[in-house]
Amino acid sequence: MKILLYVQSSLEENAAHYYDRAKKVAKKKEGALEALASNEKKLGDLLKKRDKELVSKEEHHKAASRKREWYEKFRWFFSSEGFLVIGGRDATSNEVVIKKHTESNDIVFHTDMAGSPFFVIKTEGKTPGEATLKEVADATATFSRAWKLGLAGSSTFWVKPDQVSKKTMSGEYMGKGAFMIYGKSNHLESSINLAAGSMGGVLMAGPKEAIQKNCSSFLEIVQGDEKMSDIAKSIRSKLKVGTLDEIIRSLPAGGAKIKKRVDDS
C-alpha cells in the first residue's frame, strides 16, 4: 500500500490529515451500512405487505367463490336452540322474506318502529323456546332504527304468518316491504344485542347468545362512534372470515365499536 506524504507538512500534520480522512471514510461506511439496513427493512416490509395482499386476495377469492346458502341473501343466524332465523335487509328483501320464505308454521317478528325489518323463525314444525324468541326479538330491534338512534332496545312483537297481509282498508296503500298486522300481537321487550362470528369459516351476525353457541370465535359489537367500514375491517382482520362487503351488509346502519373478542382456542 502506497501512502502519499506532503513534504511541506510536518509528520504530525500528515498524520492528522490521514486521521481526518480515515474518520470521513468510517463515517461514510457507517452511513452506507445504515442506508443498507434501512433499505433491507423497507424491502422486508414490502415483501410482507405483498404476501399479506396475496393471502387477502386468495381468501377473498375463496369467500367470493364459496357456494352460498339461499338464506345468505338476507340477514340470518341460527338461534342457540338451532332454529334458522332470516330477516330483511331493506324494503325489497322484507317483501321477499314474507312473501316467498315464510310458511304457515313459522313465526314473524317486527317492532313498533317504522322502518323495522321483519324477522322470521323457520320452525320446520317445531316449537321454539324462550331463548330463541328472545334472541329473535333482540335481532329485530338491533337491525331496526333503534341502533342508529342510540336506543337500548325497542318494543318488539311476534305473530303467525296468517296475521301478516298486504290487505288494507279501502283507499289505503301498503308500500314495498310494509304489511298490515291483524289480530293479537305477542309483545316482547328486546335489547340491542349484536355479535359477529365465524361458523365453520362462514360469517354469522346476530345476538351474542346465538353467535356464542354456534361460532368458534366471535366479536361482540356495541353502539359507538366508529364507522361500520372500519368495524368491518377489524372483523375481517380478527376473524379471517367474509369479504368486507359481506361484513358491512351483515351489520346495522350507524356507528359502532368492538367490545371484546372471544376464542375457544
Q: Where are the chain's structural domains?
A: 12-65, 69-191, 193-265
State pLDDT tens for residues 148-191.
999 999 999 999 999 999 887 766 776 787 888 999 999 998 99
CB 203 within 8 A of CB 246: yes
37 alpha carbon, distance to own chain's centre: 39
Percent of the chain with pLDDT over 70: 78
State pLDDT tens for residues 101-131.
999 999 999 998 887 899 999 999 999 999 9
State pLDDT tens for residues 218-238.
999 999 999 999 999 999 999
Beta strands in the chain (DSSP E): 75-78, 84-87, 107-111, 119-122, 153-159, 164-165, 180-181, 186-191, 194-199, 202-206, 217-226, 256-263
pTM for this predicted structure: 0.74
Amino acid type, 64:
A
What's the confidence (pLDDT) of residue 265? 41
Alpha carbons 141 and 155: distance in angstroms, whole number: 8
Alpha carbons 55 and 35: distance in angstroms, whole number: 30
